[in-house]
Amino acid sequence: MNDWTSGYVADLDYTHDFFRELAPSHLAFCAVSQGKKHGLNRSKLTYCELGCGQGVSANLLAAANPHIEFHAMDFNPAHMVGARALAEEAQLDNMHFHEQSFEDFANAPGLPETFDVIALHGVYSWVSKENQQHILDFLSKRLKSGGMVYISYNTQPGWAAAVPLRRILVDRTAQGSGPLAERISDAIQHLEQLDQAGAGYISSNPSLSAWIEKIKNMSPNYLAHEYLNRDWTPFHFADVASDMSQAKLSFMASTDPMDHLDDVSFSAEQLALLNAETDPVRRQGLRDLLLNEQFRTDLFIRGELPHTARGAIGAWFETTLALSRRYGGGRLTFKGRQGDLPLQPEQYAPVLTALQDGPQTVRNLLDQGAFGQNTWEAITRILTVLIGAGHITPCLPQEGLEERAAHCRAFNTAVCKRAEDSETLRFLASPVTGGGIEMDRFEQLFLLAHSEGLETPNEWAELAWQILAPQGYRLHADGRILETPEENLAVLRVRANTFAAQRLPLCESLGLTLEPPMPNPEAQPHSQAVA
């Protein structure tokens, strides 16, 4: 390791992902769900991401929330070069990146005096105690009164069994001298050999065999940053809560909406034990024990203000919601802590049907009768379940949509143009939700073709193949690689027609549009130029 890394992996770049928990609209919903005021509906806000990695989430959020000034830092210069390049391509004048250590960032030039939101996704468990203290000092100095902190981290007791195997993974990887990705693969093979040899520790902890099988299929980039840093700390909730208290922060909520509904996660007997614990910090620790929790995504606040009963209902009324996936009727389920659970169609389907016409406030849904004769408690439960299960998503207010749409078009065009050469970026920005929607490379190319005036899905497929074929790209189907152009094009046509029927209407509803191509009479049409 080089000294500047402070023990953090820098040999492989971090993944290019977006996390919905970082979106201000999602954080606002989590506060509303808990009956708390949040202040995220103001017109001028400041947002800071600590340890932003490739900067994909920060860039996407800046595009979808032009009313917010974003600052993001990371110590890795390669990450910052790529993040700034995307910001420039997307013309994001509200996005500022800083190549800084945690120690130096508090005094970085050009920072606002304080922030409304400070976010740390996948950071706190993976840095040294010294850097954890620098983070806490930054929160103390730079977070506004009433400001929020989003923090995710590995959790005990869920990681207790895997700690010895993680040590073997680290030590085995450190022994070799070849490329890091190859050394990671060798270390996983070594864990498999231990499992197959009947290692007593693994036999005594049956979940570890499944964990070894799971990490076999993960990318080496992810594994390197997840497991191979010098510092790797699974925390008890009480320890993180104690750390956050140094910055005058108190726990508000989990950012997983399903965690707001205890009866979804616990049996009646477990729920009785949980409800017998009245101390809020010990309650969260007991919750983690009952669930064997491995990872938490928490929201803390500096100065909590609860709504009145009337104000809490009013905040729900003004919440705007939209479909985040196509709804075609039929059976509904969601994956809970205790397995797949069915949703009663008479309760949930009318809400999804009403939202097919576009985003709606909860007040509008009530006026339309989408909730039938349900009680208010049942209504908020229905909405929380649908959001937690990913069927619907919280949105930004209608006001400001036109400005947000213009910023998102520039960002989404930059992302989709990159899909001509790479499948690295997989999320587009929605001016409706203020967050990201996952779109794979093919879908991005179809959107690009659609924006260029090609009218039929078959034409979109043909353009995609003209881009992919010269790169040697081949699709997979039925467990094999498709070799002939006819086979590849046939599969692309099926995918394009499915996209047109199922995904394109959602894209249009959520504002996932692209900039029209600039007219250039001297240029050949795209379909000819890439042939």
pTM, two decimal places:
0.89
**CB 155, CB 297: distance < 8 Å:** no
Tokens 């929330």 belong to which residue? 65
pLDDT band for position 386 (cuts 50, 70, 90): very high
Segment 69-121, tens digit of pLDDT: 999 999 889 999 999 999 999 999 999 999 999 999 988 888 999 999 999 99
pLDDT band for position 4 (cuts 50, 70, 90): very low
**CB 327, CB 353: distance < 8 Å:** yes
pLDDT band for position 530 (cuts 50, 70, 90): very low
Segment 443-460, tens digit of pLDDT: 999 999 999 999 899 999
CA within 13 Å, CB half, 103: 8
The residues, ordered by sequence, that sit 6+ positions from 272 with a Cβ below 8 Å of its Cβ are none
Tokens matching residue 425: 């970026």
Cβ-in-10-Å burial (0-12, 13-18, 19+) of 346 comes to exposed
> Residue range 190-207: average pLDDT?
89
Q: Which of 461, 453, 418 is CA-nearest to residue 525?
A: 453
Give residue 313's Cα distance to chain centre: 28
Q: Which of 503, 530, 525 is CA-nearest to residue 454?
A: 525
Cβ-in-10-Å burial (0-12, 13-18, 19+) of 245 comes to middle
- Reduced to 3 states (helix: H, G, I; strand: E, B; else coil), residue 341 is strand
Q: Which of 79, 128, 119, 129 is CA-nearest to residue 100?
A: 79
What's residue 529's pLDDT? 38
**CB 434, CB 396: distance < 8 Å:** yes
Which is more confidently placed, 340 or 28? 28
Segment 18-42, tens digit of pLDDT: 999 999 999 999 999 999 999 998 8
Strand ranges (DSSP E) for 135-288?
A: 143-154, 250-254
What is the residue-averaged pLDDT of the chain? Answer: 90
What's residue 531's pLDDT? 34
Q: Which of 316, 298, 319 is CA-nearest to residue 148?
A: 298
- Reduced to 3 states (helix: H, G, I; strand: E, B; else coil), residue 444 is helix
- Cα distance from N-terminal residue to C-terminal residue, the chain: 46
pLDDT band for position 335 (cuts 50, 70, 90): confident
At residue 528, what is the residue type?
Q
The enclosing H or E element of 336 equals strand 332-336
For the chain, what is the total number of helices (H) and then of strands (E)?
Answer: 24, 16
Whether residue 295 has pLDDT greater than 60: yes
Q: Which of 173, 163, 171 is CA-nearest to residue 211?
A: 163
The residues, ordered by sequence, that sit 6+ positions from 87 with a Cβ below 8 Å of its Cβ are 55, 59, 62, 95, 97
Whether residue 175 has pLDDT greater than 90: no
What's residue 519's pLDDT? 62
314-to-33, 130, 302, 308 alpha-carbon distances in Å:
12, 44, 23, 10
Whether residue 337 has pLDDT greater than 70: yes
Q: How far apart are the C-alpha atoms of 231 and 512, rounded to whole Å? A: 39
Ramachandran area for residue 370 (φ above 0: left; ψ -120 to 50: alpha; else beta): alpha
The residues, ordered by sequence, that sit 6+ positions from 233 with a Cβ below 8 Å of its Cβ are 124, 125, 126, 153, 154
Q: Which of 37, 105, 44 is CA-nearest to residue 301?
A: 37
Phi, then psi, of 432 in degrees rounded to 5 = -80, -50
Q: Which of 43, 32, 56 is CA-nearest to residue 387?
A: 32
The residues, ordered by sequence, that sit 6+ positions from 522 with a Cβ below 8 Å of its Cβ are none
**CB 307, CB 35: distance < 8 Å:** yes
pLDDT band for position 526 (cuts 50, 70, 90): low
**CB 404, CB 434: distance < 8 Å:** yes
Q: Which of 415, 432, 443 is CA-nearest to residue 502?
A: 443
151-to-27, 139, 240, 299, 521 alpha-carbon distances in Å:
12, 12, 9, 7, 51
